[in-house]
Amino acid sequence: MDGIPDGTAAGGRHQDAAAGSVRPLTAALLMLGIALLSGALSVLVMLPAAQHLRSFQDGERTSATLHTEGSCMIGQCKVEFRADGETVVADLPVGSGGGKSSVGARMTVRYHADDPRVAVRDEDTGGGGAAVLTVISGGTALLFLVMSVVAPVCARRQGGQVLSRRDVP
């Protein structure tokens, strides 16, 4: 390979980069992206869901039956109960627990008298699983944010200590 310096491939790229190693800047940007997505999930989705669940603490309490099972954490469950003499099928909002219950399971729910189409399990009025997921995704965001700063610093420090081919006798 005449005219190409030792340790580089055609096009001027180092052989290490061509072999599949990730550059520190790329890794830092990837970690920063994950941190931003996780933080957005925490602040824009799970925190409002936890606050919505807490808003039912002063709601009307009644006994209900699980009408439609599914993933209650993402809002796919429905309950059936009587409100003002009528049978109502209400959605359990995002962040609700009770996903392991089967259709027909009895539970106590709370609903707002002016809108009984949404109900919350009595156990979830403290924030439920949404509060836990808010903390977990917020912690993940902080971890990846710190790592997006620490990783390039460590790579920079190691870069000065690594021997190149020219240094080996």
**What's the pTM value of the predicted model, to 2 decimals?**
0.68
Q: What is the pLDDT of residue 33?
A: 94
Q: What is the pLDDT of residue 20?
A: 55
**Residue stretches of the chain with pLDDT short of 70:** 1-22, 99, 159-169
Q: What is the pLDDT of residue 133?
A: 86
Q: What is the pLDDT of residue 137?
A: 93
Say how far apart CA 27 and CA 34 lie, in whole Å: 11
Q: What is the pLDDT of residue 160?
A: 52
Q: What is the pLDDT of residue 163?
A: 44
Sole residue written with tokens 């936890």? 50
Residues 50/95, Cβ–Cβ less than 8 Å: yes
Tokens of 107: 């539970």
